[in-house]
Amino acid sequence: MADEPVKYLLDDSEIPTHWYNVVADLPTPPPPPLHPGTHQPVGPDDLAALFPPELIAQEVTTERYVEIPEPVREIYRQWRPSPLFRARRLERVLDTPARIYYKHEGVSPAGSHKTNTAVPQAYYNSINGIRHLTTETGAGQWGTALAFACALFDMQCDVWQVGASFDTKPARRTLIETFGGTVYRSPSLLTEAGKAFEEGHPGSLGIAISEAVEVAAQRDDTKYALGSVLNHVLLHQTVIGEEALLQLRKAGETGADLVVGCAGGGSNFAGLIFPFLREKLAGNQSPRLLAVEPAACPTLTRGEYRYDFGDTAGLTPLLKMYTLGHDFVPSPIHAGGLRYHGMAPLLSHVVHEGLVEATSLHQSECFDAALQFARTEGVVPAPESSHAIAQARRAALSCKETGQEQVIVIGLSGHGLLELGAYESYLADRLIDDALSEEALTSALAAVPAIS
Ligand SMILES: *Cc1c(COP(=O)(O)O)cnc(C)c1O
């Protein structure tokens, strides 16, 4: 119908003033990170070489809300509040009574949610006199976001890009360089961690993290930035869920029945669902909160809840999380951002407590759903985001069976306009659906340190 709204927009003044810290509302506190040598909980001093004091404070805070600095809110205005769309054309094609919404983070300058944390991370480093940030990037989204954020604060950004992605995605490197960043292929010869591998090795996120951490730890004017996994990163992403709650209200909904997002390290999904979890714990609504991961890298669905390293070389603190083992190298599926062996400790904790669920899908089903989404909604989703879309489609089709008018909210973490190579493979029928084998899983888990 002509008068049916399809997008719910908020005013610049409705950008959240605070990030939401779910820790304040959880029934039990998440287990602390441990020092890799002593196995004792890490203190702020252990992290000071890598992160500025404000981010370390956010990592451990139990305050319910953390104020967003005004300079960060001012930059957020460039793409926030992001739109919430009602997927009316998709609903019609699926012939479902479900009402499907998607929160579109692909409208940011880097094309994904990652700018939501890149900007505050660059800001806090810059006010502490830091001139360089080092980081890793897999699919390239995080490197792009951090290069953009560093450009705004006149800082240098050094990015170790996973070799396989460096070789196959030259456009990503160009985009990072366009924003002023420098890109190195990982494993590189610039670090001890990188030199441990032979030339031409395809690399992994775990190796690239080791390299970026090693360089940051050696230089006084240099710190490290991580695009996912850590508490402060998840905290910054909660602007997504806060806005979505407000937008659903404007759409006349009293709540959601299903909130679904893809999970690689867990940041976009946590950022979307933590505010919904707050409402759920307060008894205001009762949505199912569902993380979707690739069958080739099923961290939450098949990994073990153990203390493990965040990187391959074992330089990071030990994190209690669902893990496939820190030297696990997943098969080269196209959703590069979902190829990480671990999962954010905070998200792992709420999954372990039974507050949040997880499932996994094969990439061909995800691309099939992504094409249908592109052909109805006009948005080409990132291969990562297509996991959320495919799962939402399953839910919408089961509503068709049952006649339930569910409210489904999809976290659209980014657009896929720089991932057309992946679409090309799918359209040419060249995609392989790799599921993780039992043997590979057992051998990867054998390397996880034994800590009770
Ligand atoms: C990086 C990325 C992801 C995965 O990271 P999370 O921390 O799990 O959000 C998902 N989608 C897009 C578009 C990404 O760039």
Enumerate residue ranges in the chain where pLDDT < 50: none
CA of 90 relative to ligand 1 center, distance in Å: 23
Among 159, 262, 385, say which to mutate for ligand 1: greatest number of ligand atoms within 8 Å of CB.
262
Domain count, the chain: 1
The predicted pLDDT at position 436 comes to: 85
Measured in angstroms, how far is the CA atom of residue 392 from the centroid of ligand 1? 17
Whole-number Å distance between alpha carbons of 173 and 176: 5
In the numeric block, which tokens belong to residue 105? 């983070």
Identify the three-state secondary structure at position 414. Answer: strand
The answer to whether residue 352 sits within a structural domain is yes
Nearest CA to ligand 1 atom 1: 337
Range of the domain at 250: 7-14+69-111+232-445
229 CA closest ligand 1 atom index: 7
Q: Which of 376, 342, 67, 306 is nearest to 226 (CA)?
A: 342
Q: Return the ∠ at Cα 143 (arms to 139 and 146), rounded to 5°.
A: 145
Which amino acid does the sequence have at 432?
I
Q: If you compute the radius of gyration of the chain from its CA atoms, what whole number of angstroms results?
A: 20
125 inside domain: no
Strands (E) across 227-281 are located at 258-262
pLDDT of residue 452: 66
Residues ≥6 apart with Cβ < 8 Å to 294: 330, 333, 335, 338, 339, 360, 361, 362, 363, 366, 387
User: 385 CB under 6 A from ligand 1?
Assistant: yes
What atom of ligand 1 comes closest to residue 269's alpha carbon? 9
Number of residues that make up the chain? 452
Q: Which of 360, 354, 348, 351 is nearest to 394 (CA)?
A: 360
Tell me what pLDDT residue 138 has: 87
| Secondary element (H or E) of residue 322 | strand 318-323
CA-415 nearest atom, ligand 1: 13
Say how many Å lie between the CA of residue 5 and the centre of ligand 1.
28
Give the DSSP H/E element, type plus range, for residue 144. Answer: helix 141-152
In a domain, 148, yes or no: no
427, part of any domain: yes
Nearest-10 Cα torsion for 378, 383, 388, 389:
30
CB–CB of 139/337 below 8 Å?
A: yes
Looking up tokens 């319910």 gives 64
Residue 179 lies in a domain: no
What are the residues facing 27 on neighbouring strands? none
Q: How far apart are CA 225 and CA 155, in angstroms?
A: 13
Amino acid at the residue 400: K
Q: Does a structural domain hold residue 398?
A: yes
CATH number of the domain bearing residue 320: 3.40.50.1100
SS3 of 136, please?
A: strand
On whether residue 288 sits in a domain, the answer given is yes
Please write the tens of the pLDDT for every residue from 186-240: 999 999 999 999 989 988 888 899 999 999 999 999 999 999 999 999 999 999 9
Query: Does residue 152 lie in a domain region?
Result: no
Q: Closest Cα partner for 116 from 172, 73, 64, 70?
A: 73
Q: How many CB atoms lie within 10 A of CB 74?
A: 12
